[in-house]
Structure 1
């Protein structure tokens, strides 16, 4: 199980080969080789990479993909922040997230912030799609699509169990078993994760860890020309996480400290996912896949609200605020909110694929509805002699007592046209029709309406992309498409959704033992919109709704390359990726305070990864992974500020992995992440400076049966 090479000798898919027609309905790309021929940019993080590196944090896996930005928050990847190209990473709300080709954000249209994310240990591969071909998926179509492909049902009886322990007492267990009998097959799977965390809370015996339980069951029937697959997933999480970070002074002394004010903060959530997929080949040239899905997610993140004000005051030199944070001064009226929300996301989608020889035509439709029910009481505490003393509970009204929902129809048409042996074109058209509403209540019984608002929008999204093979080794790719991001349930009738024009142009080289790709991208916004939340406040300080900043241009360059050399009895694979991004306001906007040239929040200028290995035929393999991410703005326009408190710090980490086979079906792993123990301020939102995970030693054992 080595680092998968990015090059291969397989032929490019053609209309005659039917490669696309053989894709499983849960996939959107196929294997690594398919991404190298796609009329648009894409990447696959394969099973080998995920298993070898022992990735349990989606941020770490995606740092190796060019054009993808991540902003860590808790150091464990529990609440991911992922962006792609012109989509900033805040709560992953500007990218389309899917598991097995099904929308997975709690409420993708009305509340797209990804407070739920699948457990990475049960993910088999990650597909990342950018450029015009992403118009087959949505609703967010500006930056890109991430599809998490879960563990497939085995073709014959078998299973595996993996156990990993680390030096802080954390334990991860992943077990699966499946079988096939005639036309029927099934799989059961579980992930059990328990960690103590890496931070210490002042004056508290509570750890900063988590307890996650995830269960999956799948049942499949295969007929002569059709199949039906049903999947059920259930998970629970309890994590002692907070929004409260540190002042810069305290971060410099001990980045792994947590203030006692956050000692009672805790997230509890559960998720239920159901889906049924019917796949049928009507003929050798016509195929249809239909999926019915429903996701339910409930969470209550009990945590301190307003702690960021103490952080800001202390960073400005307020000694009283600093003493309150350290528990040295008493303070009354601290608000701890029960951030209680329940989500439902459900729908039905179908896509018809038709092979007309030189044209591979796909037409699809989806009806989707989602909702978010927010009922959030506040508990009031005083800090007395460094301890938290409960005072009262305040029942919610207004924005803390509201219901939001969305209904959406989506249609798409994609024509993959094999114009000649050298030229392939993708012509795409997508239509989104979205209606959202919000109702706020003035009483706990919800008999009195405080306010109502609604929004409706419809948009046509055209796109086109192509590849042209100059030679058997060199290929040109180009594309343009219109991007779209829905406004969410808090939008008013006079607001228009964010749209953009997105271009890409690049070249690929595929040699006998090397692959190189360079792609430039350019996105032009007339109405760049930020999604506001407490976790990722907008540039105007808003923590709910949206904030339109104005005109903006986000452009950059993505590079990736891979090769491999033989060193005696070892093979040494090597691959690298680099992303440069310029994200700036392109015009003054007096209404928002934006100035031309303002650097946009959350998007790093430089990002780099290097992965190398030494692989032996015996299976005794060693790998090193280097990752670099540049500093980012915490809010728009930090380039006009001389202060350090409105930006994060750059970070370089090195991970080492060794793998040794104990037997034919058993492997032993030893891993050291963040070898140099580098910790920097990787985020300032929410509420203060936050570190990445320190150096961590882990040992794992995988047995297949």
Structure 2
């Protein structure tokens, strides 16, 4: 029978008598009766399980699960903030509101988070998993999440493509067993501005009957961030249901509507940054987006004499987005130089229609005392229809031109198989697997009626090994080949483009005992065929090869003698370099060699207090590794920065199901001034990070 939980059921436990097992392996009933009567076999339908903290203990790779409680403790106001605590992850905060996170994993490009695969409850969140991996619509809000699972190695066979930087699974809040409602409201103010930002979250749901559950959520964010020209309006509505059709069948459903409308303050020239870092020189820049997303998951327990489960996931979405920005067409001037007025207004309306279906079979068999196997076999079909337009309007004349009017239709079929073999009483687990991707892309430039097609067939093998040295210590190693398909912007021109390929390697060890944990991982990413823009030919070429390698250390300590104390520390060393061309040996753009994060929590008489923070060393903003900053701020080193945060939580009232609590947070306690280089529609100049902010959150559950 299925357990009544709203979190995605990726594993089901079946219990068998030894008599049944003995019949499978030819043993006598008498021999069976001499040992324990019942044994358990567990079938895992996903290599990452349910993305719970308990799934990390024996996982054969580097991985971090951040709980909602930990996010609150570390004063996270957005998914951006939460990810800053994860080893190997770096975030460029473009908006100050978390609307458009730019996430880099192990030195890969942060732009629109296009080099890591985002999932929501195991379902692709990306606009188009193959043809447009950039998250220029990010239909997720922190308030709706129960935890975040950042898998940096070992999941490529099942979760592809575009997993060079790993898999980031955003797990939404589960449906409670008893009906429950929650109201949460956070108000944020800023040190150097009178602006205010309000975040309201509403949730109600539970099991209506023994067989049916429903949950409805609403999350809105309104107001302005710390800078001028930052008005924000975010609306996120979600409904999920869970229907236990029978003792062996379950149907889960999810529907979401997301709308975003925000002004983009943009980058500043170095001079303007020094004068007033809260101002905006890009007053024409705005962004709006909407997303309608859904998925259905059917699960069937199988009684084949082995533990088995059959699953069919069907998903789809229609997303639209439109950036509007100032453009300077003056010869000899960078088009986004914030020091000069715009001559034109550009906008990029785009529409994404995606449909996918993924059947999957998982079977566990064998004897827990000898050899066990967990076989996962699946395939997926995805269709993507992308309309990709660029429009330009002259400010002086009003004349409109359409420099780009592209369309791409993609049909992609993937098949994968992995087989976890447990040896030595399951202390040694070896999991070979392979994923095969067949991607057919049809591209059309409607402006000149140019049509191109592109076909990619790629086998992507993987191998993970985990060995339990003791009940607390696990050593692991993994190797996997990853693919990022050509994007719509790169197929134009000669049309035939190979995918970007990489080999990812990890070796490490993990200790877990009670509240204490430690992980060390050595990693290496051999990335070849990165696409580079050839300006003279106005096309992309498979010309780049990069190497990313380093070490990640993380630990958590909670002494038994002080149950109210918890300490966490993580360090990452990253060496990310170009391996080909004129910039061979140089550091990759925005790649900090050193990253440090920490947190310390203690409960003082009911006041849960946490000090946390992070440090990133300096980085370069161009492939030539230019040290000195130029006048418009497009090149030059990006200085290191250290940020401290403080959060205090207090339960004010609790009686029965009713609970009232409050959180008070100060982010960037010491008001550190730091910046990134420009991003996307404002790529030239300094992009200011948030200064000191103050937040108060009230939570009522009943």
TM-score normalised by the chain length of structure 1: 0.85
Question: For the structure 1 residues 198 and 512, does the alpha-carbon distance in structure 2 shift closer, same or farther, using more than 3 Å as the test?
Answer: closer
Instruction: Please say if 1:650 is aligned against 2:647.
Output: no
Paired position in structure 2 for 1:380:
394
**Which of 510, 513, 532 does residue 512 from structure 2 map onto?**
510
Instruction: Please say if 1:689 is aligned against 2:686.
Output: yes
How far did 1:53 drift? 4.0
Instruction: Please say if 1:407 is aligned against 2:411.
Output: yes
Give CA deviations for 1:282-337 in whole Å, capped at 9, x if unaligned: 1260112211111111112221124999986999xxxxx84x45xxxxxxx71111
Question: For the structure 1 residues 249 and 210, does the alpha-carbon distance in structure 2 shift closer, same or farther, using more than 3 Å as the test?
Answer: same
How far did 1:543 drift? 13
Instruction: Please say if 1:365 is aligned against 2:372.
Output: no
**Structure 1: how far apart are the matches of 2:276 and 2:537?**
29
Instruction: Please say if 1:439 is aligned against 2:447.
Output: no
Instruction: Please say if 1:334 is aligned against 2:343.
Output: yes
**Structure 2: how far apart are the matches of 1:553 and 1:680?**
28
Question: For the structure 1 residues 606 and 311, does the alpha-carbon distance in structure 2 shift closer, same or farther, using more than 3 Å as the test?
Answer: farther
Paired position in structure 2 for 1:467:
466
**Length, aligned pairs only:** 638
Paired position in structure 2 for 1:678:
672
Paired position in structure 1 for 2:486:
487
How far did 1:548 drift? 3.5
**Structure 2: how far apart are the matches of 1:695 and 1:148?**
27
Paired position in structure 2 for 1:272:
292
Give CA deviations for 1:167-187 in whole Å, capped at 9, x if unaligned: 232111111001312311111
| Contact 1:26 1:149 (C-alpha < 8 Å) held by counterparts | no
How far did 1:82 drift? 1.4
Give CA deviations for 1:496-522 in whole Å, capped at 9, x if unaligned: 111122211112233565321110001
Paired position in structure 2 for 1:140:
162
Question: For the structure 1 residues 253 and 186, does the alpha-carbon distance in structure 2 shift closer, same or farther, using more than 3 Å as the test?
Answer: same
Paired position in structure 2 for 1:445:
none
| Contact 1:411 1:430 (C-alpha < 8 Å) held by counterparts | yes
Paired position in structure 2 for 1:624:
611
Question: For the structure 1 residues 195 and 52, does the alpha-carbon distance in structure 2 shift closer, same or farther, using more than 3 Å as the test?
Answer: farther
Aligned residue runs from structure 1 range 4-83, under 5 A:
17-18=40-41, 21=44, 28-53=49-74, 55-83=76-104
**Which of 229, 234, 240 does residue 263 from structure 2 map onto?**
240
**Structure 2: how far apart are the matches of 1:437 and 1:344?**
15
Paired position in structure 2 for 1:574:
567
SS in 2 for 1:91: helix
SS in 1 for 2:619: coil
Paired position in structure 2 for 1:345:
354
TM-score normalised by the chain length of structure 2: 0.85
User: Which moved further from structure 2: 545-554 or 271-280?
Assistant: 545-554
Paired position in structure 2 for 1:702:
699
Question: For the structure 1 residues 179 and 40, does the alpha-carbon distance in structure 2 shift closer, same or farther, using more than 3 Å as the test?
Answer: same
**Runs of 5+ unmatched residues, structure 2:** 1-13, 17-38, 190-194, 367-371
SS in 1 for 2:312: strand
| Contact 2:628 2:637 (C-alpha < 8 Å) held by counterparts | no
Question: For the structure 1 residues 679 and 650, does the alpha-carbon distance in structure 2 shift closer, same or farther, using more than 3 Å as the test?
Answer: same
| Contact 2:267 2:677 (C-alpha < 8 Å) held by counterparts | no
Paired position in structure 2 for 1:9:
none
**Structure 2: how far apart are the matches of 1:641 and 1:352?**
56
Instruction: Please say if 1:553 is aligned against 2:547.
Output: yes
SS in 2 for 1:132: coil
Paired position in structure 2 for 1:204:
none
| Contact 1:477 1:505 (C-alpha < 8 Å) held by counterparts | yes
Question: For the structure 1 residues 349 and 473, does the alpha-carbon distance in structure 2 shift closer, same or farther, using more than 3 Å as the test?
Answer: same
**Structure 1: how far apart are the matches of 2:335 and 2:487?**
32
| Contact 2:75 2:645 (C-alpha < 8 Å) held by counterparts | no
**Structure 2: how far apart are the matches of 1:74 and 1:311?**
25
**Structure 2: how far apart are the matches of 1:541 and 1:562?**
49
SS in 1 for 2:155: helix
Question: For the structure 1 residues 281 and 265, does the alpha-carbon distance in structure 2 shift closer, same or farther, using more than 3 Å as the test?
Answer: same
Give CA deviations for 1:18-62 in whole Å, capped at 9, x if unaligned: 5554x7x89745321321211122111112123444534222111
Question: For the structure 1 residues 18 and 662, does the alpha-carbon distance in structure 2 shift closer, same or farther, using more than 3 Å as the test?
Answer: farther
User: Which moved further from structure 2: 626-635 or 118-127?
Assistant: 626-635
Instruction: Please say if 1:599 is aligned against 2:587.
Output: yes
**Structure 2: how far apart are the matches of 1:640 and 1:662?**
52
Paired position in structure 1 for 2:126:
105
SS in 2 for 1:565: coil
**Structure 1: how far apart are the matches of 2:508 and 2:166?**
17
**Structure 1: how far apart are the matches of 2:628 and 2:423?**
52
**Structure 2: how far apart are the matches of 1:471 and 1:376?**
58
**Structure 1: how far apart are the matches of 2:124 and 2:466?**
29
Paired position in structure 1 for 2:398:
392
Give CA deviations for 1:412-471 in whole Å, capped at 9, x if unaligned: 1111111223311121111111111221122xxxxxx43222211110011111112333
**Structure 2: how far apart are the matches of 1:309 and 1:125?**
49
| Contact 1:171 1:193 (C-alpha < 8 Å) held by counterparts | yes
| Contact 1:39 1:426 (C-alpha < 8 Å) held by counterparts | no
Paired position in structure 2 for 1:423:
428
SS in 2 for 1:703: strand
**Structure 2: how far apart are the matches of 1:307 and 1:77?**
31
Give CA deviations for 1:55-87 in whole Å, capped at 9, x if unaligned: 342221111111223222222221111122363
**Runs of 5+ unmatched residues, structure 1:** 1-12, 201-206, 316-320, 326-332, 383-390, 443-448, 531-537
**Structure 1: how far apart are the matches of 2:15 and 2:544?**
43
User: Which moved further from structure 2: 402-411 or 504-513?
Assistant: 504-513
Give CA deviations for 1:182-209 in whole Å, capped at 9, x if unaligned: 3111111100111212112xxxxxx412
**Structure 2: how far apart are the matches of 1:518 and 1:402?**
46
